Homo-oligomer: A and B are copies of this chain.
Amino acid sequence: MKLHEYQAKSILASYGMPVPRSGVATTPQEARDVARHVGTPAFVKAQVHAGGRGKGGGIKLIESAEQAEDVAASMLGSRLISPQTSLTGAPISIVLVEESLDIEYELYLGIVIDAIAQAPVVIASKAGGMEIEEIALEHPGLILREVVQPTVGFRAYQGRRLAHAMGLPSNLANPVADQMMRLYKAFVDKDCSLVEINPLVITKSGQVMVLDAKMTIDDDAAFRQPDMPSLRDWTQEDILEAKAGQAGLAYVKLDGDVGCLVNGAGLAMATMDAIKASGCFPANFLDVGGGAEPIRVAEAMGIILADPQVKRVLINVFGGIARCDDIAEGIVRSYLDSGKELPLVVRFLGTNKDEGIRILKEAKPDTIFVDYISEATKVLQDITIQ
Interface mask (A119-162 → B, CB under 8 Å = 1, otherwise 0): 00000000000000000000000000000001100000000000
User: How distant is the Cα of A116 from the Cα of B95 in the complex, in angstroms?
Assistant: 57
Residue of B nearest to A149 (CB): B151
Rounded to whole Å, the gap between the CB of A191 and the closest CB of chain B is: 15
User: How distant is the Cα of A151 from the Cα of B151 in the complex, in angstroms?
Assistant: 5
Rounded to whole Å, the gap between the CB of A194 and the closest CB of chain B is: 23
Give every chain B residue within 8 A of A150 (Cβ-Cβ).
151
User: How distant is the Cα of A150 from the Cα of B151 in the complex, in angstroms?
Assistant: 7
Q: How many copies does the complex hold?
A: 2
User: How distant is the Cα of A151 from the Cα of B150 in the complex, in angstroms?
Assistant: 7
Rounded to whole Å, the gap between the CB of A112 and the closest CB of chain B is: 20
User: How distant is the Cα of A150 from the Cα of B150 in the complex, in angstroms?
Assistant: 10
Interface size class of A (residues with CB under 8 A): under 10
Interface mask (A283-322 → B, CB under 8 Å = 1, otherwise 0): 0000000000000000000000000000000000000000
Residue of B nearest to A152 (CB): B150
Rounded to whole Å, the gap between the CB of A189 and the closest CB of chain B is: 12
Rounded to whole Å, the gap between the CB of A117 and the closest CB of chain B is: 15
User: How distant is the Cα of A165 from the Cα of B27 in the complex, in angstroms?
Assistant: 62
Give every chain B residue within 8 A of A151 (Cβ-Cβ).
150-151
Rounded to whole Å, the gap between the CB of A115 and the closest CB of chain B is: 19
Residue of B nearest to A150 (CB): B151
User: How distant is the Cα of A109 from the Cα of B151 in the complex, in angstroms?
Assistant: 25
Rounded to whole Å, the gap between the CB of A103 and the closest CB of chain B is: 32
Rounded to whole Å, the gap between the CB of A222 and the closest CB of chain B is: 19
User: How distant is the Cα of A150 from the Cα of B153 in the complex, in angstroms?
Assistant: 11
Rounded to whole Å, the gap between the CB of A244 and the closest CB of chain B is: 33
Rounded to whole Å, the gap between the CB of A43 and the closest CB of chain B is: 35
Rounded to whole Å, the gap between the CB of A155 and the closest CB of chain B is: 15
Rounded to whole Å, the gap between the CB of A36 and the closest CB of chain B is: 36
User: How distant is the Cα of A335 from the Cα of B231 in the complex, in angstroms?
Assistant: 67
Interface mask (A355-380 → B, CB under 8 Å = 1, otherwise 0): 00000000000000000000000000
Interface mask (A184-200 → B, CB under 8 Å = 1, otherwise 0): 00000000000000000
Rounded to whole Å, the gap between the CB of A171 and the closest CB of chain B is: 22
User: How distant is the Cα of A151 from the Cα of B119 in the complex, in angstroms?
Assistant: 12
User: How distant is the Cα of A150 from the Cα of B149 in the complex, in angstroms?
Assistant: 12
Rounded to whole Å, the gap between the CB of A206 and the closest CB of chain B is: 25
Rounded to whole Å, the gap between the CB of A120 and the closest CB of chain B is: 14
User: How distant is the Cα of A286 from the Cα of B151 in the complex, in angstroms?
Assistant: 37
Rounded to whole Å, the gap between the CB of A147 and the closest CB of chain B is: 15
List, sorted by A's number, 2 A–B pairs whose CB atoms are closer than 8 Å: A150-B151, A151-B151
- Which positions in A face B, CB cutoff 8 Å? 150-151
Complex A-B, nearest 2 residue pairs according to Cβ-Cβ distance, in ascending order: A151-B151, A150-B151
